[in-house]
Amino acid sequence: MLREAAGQMLQHMGYEVEFAEDGGEALELYKRAKESGRPFDVVILDLTVPGGMGGKETMKRLTEMDPQIRAIVSSGYSNDPVMAEYKQYGFRGVMAKPYQVYELGQTVHKVITGED
pLDDT for res 78:
85
pLDDT of residue 51: 86
> What's the rounded mean pLDDT across residues 51-57?
92
The contacts of residue 115 (CB under 8 Å, 6+ apart) are: 109
Query: How confident is the model at residue 116, as a pLDDT?
Result: 66
Q: What domains sit in the chain, N to C, each tagged with a CATH number?
A: 2-113 (3.40.50.2300)
3-class secondary structure per residue, 63-97: HHHCCCCCEEEEECCCCCHHHHCHHHHCCCEEEEC
Q: Which one-letter amino acid corresponds to residue 16?
A: E
Residue 74's DSSP bridge partners are 46, 95
As beta bridge partners, residue 44 has 72
Question: The whole model's pTM is what?
Answer: 0.93
* Per-residue pLDDT tens over the stretch 10-45: 999 999 999 999 999 999 999 999 999 999 999 999
The H or E element that residue 54 is part of is none
Cα–Cα dist 111/98, whole Å? 19
- Using CA atoms, how far apart are residues 18 and 31, in angstroms rounded to an integer? 13
